[in-house]
Amino acid sequence: MVGDSKVKKSSSSSSSSSSWSMATANITDSHKVRFKDHAITNQTVTLTLMSSSDKVFMSLNKKEIYRNLGDRGLHLVVLNQHTGKVMARQVFDTFSVGVEEEMVEFIDDVRDGRILVFAVLDEASKTYHGEGGTN
């Protein structure tokens, strides 16, 4: 099962030289999404995700859980639904032909109940034609 063995790391996912972070993004309580009829409790978590043409950043309760400054494609982070711990992470280079099968297999292997967080660095649909594709 994905998320119960080793965490997959990309070479640039833990770069600490970048100043791109929650502080520089100026994320505050006023930017939190509020859902109608959703009570904010002490068990509510805040997941922040920033995605652009050259970087991906994720934080949980203002603690960085993932950063990548160079691997293009679809970034997938698997979180434990109880603790928020990163169980697995994988980058799918969607410019490569056939990567959709690898991605579908990875997602199918994720244990039920886990939280999946997706982000895109650069572009992620241009060559994707498989299961769930838009072309």
**Domain locations in the chain as residue ranges:** 22-121
What strands, in cross-sheet order, belong to the sheet with 86-92?
Answer: 86-92, 73-79, 115-121
| Residue 3 backbone class (left: φ over 0; alpha: ψ -120 to 50; beta: rest) | left
Strand ranges (DSSP E) for the chain? 47-51, 56-60, 63-68, 73-79, 86-92, 115-121
23 vs 42, residue with greater confidence: 42
Q: How many CB atoms lie within 10 A of CB 101?
A: 10
- Radius of gyration of the chain measured on its C-alpha atoms: 16
- Alpha-carbon span 56 to 102, nearest angstrom: 21
> Residue 5 — very low, low, confident or very high, per pLDDT cuts 50/70/90?
very low
Q: What is the pTM of this model?
A: 0.65
For residue 118, give the 3-state DSSP assignment.
Answer: strand
Q: What is the distance, to the nearest Å, from the Cα of residue 41 to the centroid of all Cα atoms in its chain?
A: 24
Q: Which residues pair with 109 in a beta bridge?
A: none
Q: How many CB atoms lie within 10 A of CB 121?
A: 22
| pLDDT at residue 127 greater than cutoff 80 | no
* pLDDT digit string, tens, across residues 49-75: 999 888 999 999 889 999 998 888 899
* pLDDT digit string, tens, across residues 69-123: 888 889 999 999 888 899 999 999 888 888 888 999 999 999 999 999 999 888 7
DSSP label at residue 112: T
* pLDDT digit string, tens, across residues 25-49: 555 555 555 555 655 556 678 889 9
pLDDT for residue 40: 55
